[in-house]
Amino acid sequence: ISQGNVPGVESASLAMDTEEGVEVVWNEVLFNDRKVFKAQEEKIKEMFENLMQVEHPNIVKFHKYWLDMRESQARVIFITEYMSSGSLKQFLKKTKKNHKTMNVKAWKRWCTQILSALSYLHSCEPPIIHGNLTCDTIFIQHNGLIKIGSVWHRLFVNVFPEAGVHGKVRAHRDEQRNLHFFSPEYGSAEDDYAIDIFSFGICALEVSTQLQ
């Protein structure tokens, strides 16, 4: 399944949490070199522990993670909330295909929810820069609730390039496809909140094209 462009994620599959009785997303990150992975292990654990603390009604829930060491490879498995209604981009495509329009109230409500999630992330300690906010990584539920996914994107970018992550080419292609969502400063060593605000503005603009 596709639920957010995550650098280095080799596979994302729909799974069932038998303890809670709900559908979840099973994500795998593969590492080519066990020695490099071992050297970065504590840093990786710290990153995932921070993600476990993220709790907001407008952010896709990060449930759990664990490390799996094999003879030739290592991998991290992490479980996230499943958004069955799809992304904002998919919703906009359906709306356009059915020749329907949105009203301004819905647009304002969505923008408020997205900004609430970003405000929460930027207020975390340490602050979390999303770094990958696009209409592909924003999800909508059947009741109109908006949730931001892929909040781990920037953390992955900062940690995993040093750890020999498998699957970088696909991640690069995904970023090229959504390049218009990223500010000119994107990718610099001094990334700050501004790159998320820029991306939010582009998302809001794309959604506004469906207004009646």
What is the per-residue pLDDT across 132-161, written as a single tens digit (0 to 9) for each? 899 989 999 888 899 999 887 777 766 665
Residue 20 lies in a domain: yes
User: Which of 74-78, 172-176, 201-205 comes out lowest in average pLDDT?
Assistant: 172-176
Alpha carbon separation from 98 to 9, 34, 140, 204 (Å, rounded): 33, 50, 18, 21
Q: Please give the average per-residue pLDDT across 17-30, as a whole number.
A: 75
Report the pLDDT averaged over residues 33-61.
88
pLDDT over 60 (residue 167)? no
CATH of the domain at 136: 1.10.510.10
Residue 142 in any domain: the answer is yes
164: nearest Cα among 67, 31, 47: 31
Question: Domain for residue 146, yes or no?
Answer: yes
Q: Residue 159 is part of which domain span?
A: 9-208
Total domains in the chain come to 1
Q: Is 135 part of any domain?
A: yes
